[in-house]
Amino acid sequence: MTLLDGLETYQTTLGDLGVELDVAATMEAALRPGREASLTERARALLLARAGFLDTPLAYSVDLRRAEVGMRAVAQRVRKEPVNAHLNLTAHARVPDIPGAELDVQATVVSIMHGVLAGERSFLVRTKDVRADVTEDDLTAVDVTKVVATFETKFALWGDGRGRSRNIELAAAAIDGMVLKPGQSFSFNTVVGRRTLEKGYVWAPVIVGDELRPGVGGGICQVASTLYASALFGAMQITERWAHGRPSSYTRMGLDATVAYPSKDLRFVNTLPYSVILHLHFPERGKLRAEILGGEPVATVSYKYGVSRTMPFVRRIVSDPSLAPGTARRKQKGIQGYSVVSMIELDYGTRVDKRTYYSEYRPTPEIFWVSPDYDAAALPELPKGAKGVEEKLTETTPDGDPAG
């Protein structure tokens, strides 16, 4: 027998779908006329049976668990994820939700059984709607005139900033207008997805290990950081956040959030008693603003941090045969490492809650590329905060996932 989903065909058997002949029920149906009918009807049934004209419908039993296993490939093929409704705050328009679809195993099996009895051999699978988490009706409950929290960061538009700004715009657009209902969780990597050239992301500096390297999607960590700080000041519950490998120039220590697909994510939960909308936009060139809209703030939130430990950086000297003789070039500025304790105070009016977060920023080495004949003693003195020299014969790729 053949199953059809509109695009592909799947060969299967009734046994694979958990459908089996119910011998006992079939025999019961065959014997029933001889027991329950009148004398005349029983005599007539006996004559028909002897002549081979008595037709007893076959009875079947169904094991829905086996049916689910047997139709697993079909289920994966017909599955369509729902699309949540969201607001296009730039166009001041609601974008309606799109229901998804999934295989209706029971309805499909029933349809197959009816078709088999009718002599059919090909069957269309049946599906049922999957409701979106956020529907268009949910949007009406969000008051976009009320700001729960907001946070801004600045970014450059020239040099390496050209690529970063493009990536920042794309990631912000992917999040803008998203609705979070009470208790709903936000995942940066789920919403933004993998950062690829096919999606329009471009090459820009990313942190790999303790060095800056070119990478696709560089700059999107600024989007994550800006949104993280807004969620923090909005009194939301942060469930996953990673500090950068080094302090960020666009925000205070402890208010940054690095992301790397799929290993490092930014996640938080809307713990507010109302639905909110995440509004990421650019009030002016080179400035990103993350707003959480939907109601009055539930708490007054204050933030402060302290450095519990500083760590010196090293000077890394890398021999580069491509450089002209007697050449030295500083590739990267050294930055001290810091252990940071962040303290967030949430004043709800009737009570005050305090939360503590820890951030570890590794030392960033000062890196010099030098020609093989270069005398390292001719390099400038070690800068403040540096301790020791590390020499490498050739350039290598640092360990770690690239983070924008």
List the chain domain ranges.
Answer: 2-22+59-82+97-132, 141-392
Between 39-53, 128-142, 199-213, the lowest mean confidence (pLDDT) is in 39-53
Over residues 114-149, the pLDDT tens digits come to 787 777 888 888 999 999 988 888 888 788 889 999
* pLDDT exceeds cutoff 70 at 37: no
Which two three-digit tokens encode residue 297? 């703030």
Indicate whether this model's pTM tops 0.85.
no
* Cα dist from 241 to 182, 186, 294, whole Å: 20, 12, 24
Determine the Cα–Cα distance for residues 38 and 20; give it in Å rounded to an integer: 32
* pLDDT exceeds cutoff 90 at 219: yes
* pLDDT exceeds cutoff 80 at 33: no
Cα pseudo-dihedral 288, 293, 298, 301, rounded to 10: 0
Question: Which one has a higher pLDDT value, 377 or 26?
Answer: 377
* pLDDT exceeds cutoff 70 at 11: yes
Q: Are 309 and 338 in contact (CB under 8 A)?
A: yes
* Cα dist from 116 to 26, 65, 100, 351, whole Å: 16, 20, 29, 68
Q: Are 139 and 191 in contact (CB under 8 A)?
A: no
pLDDT grade, residue 32 (50/70/90)? Answer: low
* pLDDT exceeds cutoff 90 at 355: yes
Quick one: pLDDT at residue 272? 97
Quick one: pLDDT at residue 43? 58
Between 17-31, 63-77, 126-140, 374-388, the lowest mean confidence (pLDDT) is in 17-31
Determine the Cα–Cα distance for residues 128 and 253; give it in Å rounded to an integer: 49
Residues 6+ apart with CB under 8 A from 200: 166, 170
pLDDT grade, residue 106 (50/70/90)? Answer: confident
Strand-pairing partners, residue 263, are none
Determine the Cα–Cα distance for residues 374 and 212; give it in Å rounded to an integer: 24
Which two three-digit tokens encode residue 53? 């004209």
